[in-house]
Structure 1
Amino acid sequence: MPLAPLSRRSVVLAGVLALAGCSTAVPEGITAVTPFDATRYAGKWFEIARLDHSFERGLGNVSATYTLQADGSVQVLNRGYNNEKKEWKQAEGRALFTGSPQVASLKVSFFGPFYGGYHVVQLDADYRWALVVGADRSYAWILARDKQLPAAVRSQLLAKAQEIGIAVDQLVWVDQSRSDS
Structure 2
Amino acid sequence: MRILLLVTFSLLLNGCTVMDRKVDVVTPFTLSPYLGKWYEIARLDHSFEQGLTKVTAEYSLSPEDPGLIRVINRGYRQEDDRWQQAHGRAHFWDSDQVGRFKVAFFRPFYGAYQIHDIISYQGRYIAALVIGPDIDYVWILSRTPELSDAVAKRFLAKLEQLGVDTSALIWLSPPPQ
Q: TM-score band (shorter)?
A: 0.7 to 0.9
How far did 1:23 drift?
1.4
Report how many residues are paired: 162
Q: TM-score with structure 1 length normalisation?
A: 0.83
In the aligned structure 1, how far is the partner of 2:44 from the partner of 2:16?
A: 20
Rg (Cα) greater in structure:
1
Q: 5+ residue gaps in structure 2?
A: none
Kept in 1: contact 2:146–2:173 (CA 8 A): no
Residue 122 (str. 1) matches residue 120 (str. 2)? no
Partner residue in 2 for 1:6: none
Contact 2:71 / 2:89 at 8 angstroms: preserved in 1?
A: yes
Q: Using the alignment, how far apart are the partners of 1:113 and 1:20 within structure 2?
A: 10
- 1:50 has 2:43 as partner: yes
Q: Which 4+ runs in 1 deviate beyond 4 A?
A: none
Q: 1:133 aligns with which of 131, 134, 139?
A: 131
Aligned partners of 1:34, 1:145: CA distance in 2, in Å? 20
How far residue 89 of structure 1 moved from its aligned partner, in angstroms, is: 0.0
SS at 2:18 equivalent: coil
Q: Find the counterpart in structure 2 of residue 162 from structure 1.
A: 160
Q: Distance in 2 between matches of 1:167 and 1:55?
A: 20
Residue of structure 2 in register with 1:152 after alignment: 150
CA contact (8 A) 1:60 1:175 kept: no
User: Which residue matches 1:39?
Assistant: 32
Higher share of residues assigned helix: 1
Going by fraction, where is strand more abundant, 1 or 2?
2
- Please provide the CA RMSD for this pair: 2.1
Return the offset for 1:125: 2.2
- Counterpart of 1:104 in structure 2 is 99
What TM-score does the superposition give when structure 2 sets the normalisation length? 0.85
Name the residue aligned to 1:62. Answer: 55
Distance 1:39 1:121 in 2: 17
Q: Is the Cα–Cα contact under 8 Å of residues 42 and 173 in structure 2 kept in the other structure?
A: no
Matched residues, percent identical?
Answer: 43
- Superposed displacement of residue 71, structure 1: 2.3
Paired amino acid for 2:54: N
Please, which of 66, 87, 92 is the counterpart of residue 92 of structure 1?
87
Q: Offset of 1:151 from its aligned partner?
A: 1.0
Does the CA contact (< 8 Å) of 1:105 and 1:118 recur in 2? yes
